[in-house]
Amino acid sequence: MDLRHISFRLLEVFMSVVKTGSISETARRLHLTQPTVSLQIKRLQEAVGEPLLLIQQQKLHVTDAGLELFKTCQQVFGHFEDYEDFLTELNGGARGRCKIAMVNTAQYILPKLLGPYSNLHPHVELPLEIGNRAEVLDRFERGEDDIYVFSHPPSLEHAQAARFLHNPLEFIVPLNHPLANVKAVKLTDLMQYRFLLRENGSATRMLFESELQSRGLVLSDSVQMASNEAIRVAVASGMGIAVLSRHVLAKDDTSFKILNVTDAHLASHWYFVMRTDRHISHAARNFLKFAQQHVEQYLDTQWVRNELHNLHNLDLKLINIRC
């Protein structure tokens, strides 16, 4: 039996012949001519090396080998139907994987969207990668993930990005800090204090430092710390003051004080970023659609800046990835 050159079309034709018990009838149903069907069956028989149909008493008769092949075909087509169902789910975004890499700070925000999404589509795998800006940029370079989350979008080629959330920065000081109860302070007032900063390259730090530079200000003292959490706790315990994303600060957290800095309103935005040259999984596409429709619902409405519609010129790309 040599199936190499047997196509599924051929099996379809064969099955129809078995079902109708007639070559002519099959031809009519499949909009073919009778000789075509005759020939197809002949080819199939040659491939199988066994008679499948024969004529007895002027009637088409299915041999044992033919009947068994018919059953086999039923099974096979069943499997492909299952596969088609799988594809449908995949296309509907109900299944698959959406790999997301985000910078540290985003972990205060994104889970609010991921939670509801994951509940809606429990079969979608959502592996998350969290790293500092440099690490996430690396992953982007290598195209390891479907979606990247940055504040301060990287202006790389092959990148497309869209905002979804405002990202205001706040100055925080310990409760017992001299400025803690001052109603309005200026940026220059802060320069004399020790600043606790994230590592170089962090979007928050970049934003802050570029503001300082543009105003010709210089910090008198700074300490580098690896995480927002560490900085928040360090500030609360009096180690210094800091600039942190509003989203990092719980509303009811009274272990520090937020300053009202009247002459500096630092802010960036949170972006979903994707490579334009990579295939975008259905799950990823679907998650973005979900985000577009539900950011207002699941994130603080006052900060939402939903520009995700900009992304939806994503179309399915097949394998020719390198183009």
> Which residues make up the interface to a copy of itself (CB under 8 A)?
1, 3-9, 12, 41-42, 45-46, 48-57, 63-65, 68-69, 72, 75-76, 79-80, 82-84, 86-87, 90-91, 95-97, 142-144, 279, 281, 316-322
Partner touching 209 among a copy of itself, DNA, none, CB below 5 to 8 Å by kind: none
Partner touching 8 among DNA, a copy of itself, none, CB below 5 to 8 Å by kind: a copy of itself
- Residue 178, SS3 per DSSP: coil
Could you tell me the smallest distance in angstroms from the CB atom of residue 49 to DNA? 14
CA pair distance 27, 34, nearest whole angstrom = 5
Q: Which residues bind DNA (CB under 7 A)?
A: 5, 7, 9-10, 22-25, 31-36, 38-43, 55, 57-58, 60, 319-323
The residue (of 69 and 103) whose beta carbon lies closer to a copy of itself is 69
- Exposure on the CB side of residue 127, measured as CA atoms within 13 A: 7
Partner touching 100 among a copy of itself, DNA, none, CB below 5 to 8 Å by kind: none
Q: Taken in order 58, 60, 61, 63, is the CA torsion positive or negative? A: positive
Residues ≥6 apart with Cβ < 8 Å to 72: none
The residue (of 2 and 252) whose beta carbon lies closer to DNA is 2
**How would DSSP label each residue in 181-200?**
T-S-B-GGGGTTSEEEEPPT
Tell me the backbone φ, ψ of residue 73, rounded to 5 degrees.
-60, -40
The residue (of 13 and 196) whose beta carbon lies closer to DNA is 13
124 in Cβ contact with 95 (< 8 Å): yes
CA angle 89, 283, 124 (to 5 degrees): 75
The residue (of 58 and 301) whose beta carbon lies closer to a copy of itself is 58
Partner touching 229 among DNA, a copy of itself, none, CB below 5 to 8 Å by kind: none
Residues ≥6 apart with Cβ < 8 Å to 156: 140, 141
Is beta strand 241-245 parallel, antiparallel or unpaired with respect to 194-197? parallel
Could you tell me the smallest distance in angstroms from the CB atom of residue 144 to a copy of itself? 7
The residue (of 79 and 309) whose beta carbon lies closer to a copy of itself is 79
Partner touching 196 among DNA, a copy of itself, none, CB below 5 to 8 Å by kind: none
Partner touching 323 among DNA, a copy of itself, none, CB below 5 to 8 Å by kind: DNA
52 in Cβ contact with 1 (< 8 Å): no
Residues ≥6 apart with Cβ < 8 Å to 119: none
Could you tell me the smallest distance in angstroms from the CB atom of residue 316 to DNA? 15
Is beta strand 96-97 parallel, antiparallel or unpaired with respect to 124-125? parallel
The residue (of 96 and 240) whose beta carbon lies closer to a copy of itself is 96
The residue (of 215 and 317) whose beta carbon lies closer to a copy of itself is 317
CA pair distance 42, 69, nearest whole angstrom = 14
Partner touching 227 among a copy of itself, DNA, none, CB below 5 to 8 Å by kind: none
Could you tell me the smallest distance in angstroms from the CB atom of residue 319 to DNA? 5
